[in-house]
Amino acid sequence: MSKFACLLACAVLVSQPAWAALPFTTTTVNYQMTDTGQELSSAATGSQAQVAQATATLENARANYERQQQLFQQKFISQAALDRATAEYRSAEAAARAARAGAGQTAAVSGYTVITAPFSGIVAARHVEVGETVTPGKPLMTGFDPKDMRVIANIPQYKLAEVKAAPRVAVEIPSLNKWIAATGITVLPSADVATHTVKVRIDLPADVEGVIPGMFARAHFSMASARKLTIPLSAVVRRSEITAVYVVNQGKVSLRQVRLGTPNARGQVEVLAGLNPGDVIALEPVKAGIYAKSAANQSAK
């Protein structure tokens, strides 16, 4: 089993902060626990107030215009006074239309001035204060969903094939003295040029308690180890710089040179080259050497 040190992180959807899409001034900032769709932050807008003011001005101008018309018909005011009332009425109409148009444009982008929670979870950090003016791209707050956590591990490139083939992955969290069976693994299709590592996302089950972003963890991958060809160390013959074993084939004994690895505590040694699985070797090389020499002498006669 191979293990890699890693950091516990949120899932992709919850690890990214909320960003400002338009410049605005914050008027409310709500955080701690959030539900999907809950308002997190909103911007101050005066478009509705402008529409209300323009509408009131228009109504007043219309009423004044109608009174001036009646007075003009009764010969109580001059044409100039009626013209002034008419101009004020038309100006108020234009101002009301402009205010309504501005309100429509504001409504079209209102979704960018109210930030709502995209998931139910916890706001981990707040990056703005009430009254602060923010610009597009500025992070407002960061949150995470405790039911959607994952581990991010950096895996060496030469281990990537083994990691992809690993049937099981276990996550160890030393601070909690806890082992967690992963529910899935995703290998990101990019590598770090400097460290020659590849990021791997390891999904955790939804019912894990006490796990929070930023905690240290270790990822343990169950990898199938390659079978090694080993022989008893006592069967090895060493002559000068040659290391060999006696191979038995169809009743004949012959000395074959081999390349060996490191012996283990059980008295076995790995064969790196010179033998194949299924080859039969003599376990008593002294007797095998005598037998091979005797057979060679008989063949010479």
- Percent of the chain having pLDDT more than 70? 78
| 38-56 mean pLDDT | 65
The fold for domain 47-108 equals Helix Hairpins (1.10.287)
Is the pTM here over 0.85, yes or no? no
Provide the residue ranges of all domains of the chain, joining segments of one domain with +.
2-10+146-222, 47-108, 230-300
Q: What is the pLDDT of residue 16?
A: 43
| Six token digits for residue 221 | 């991958």
- Which amino acid would we find at residue 27? T
Buried/exposed code over 44-77 (b: 16+ C-beta within 10 A; e: otherwise): ebebeebbeebeebbeebeeebeebeeebeeeeb
Q: What is the pLDDT of residue 27?
A: 46
CATH superfamily, region 2-10+146-222:
Efflux pump adaptor protein, beta barrel domain (2.40.30.170)
- Which of the four CATH numbers 2.40.50.100, 2.60.40.10, 3.90.320.10, 2.40.420.20 does domain 230-300 have? 2.40.420.20
Phi, psi at 172, each rounded to 5°: -105, 130
- Per DSSP, what are the bridge partners of residue 84? none
Q: What is the pLDDT of residue 207?
A: 77
- Per DSSP, what are the bridge partners of residue 155? 198
* Rounded Cα distance, 44 and 29, in Å: 12
CB of 213 closer than 8 Å to CB of 151: no
Kindly report, residue by residue over 141-175, the tens digit of the pLDDT: 787 787 888 888 888 888 888 888 777 888 888 88
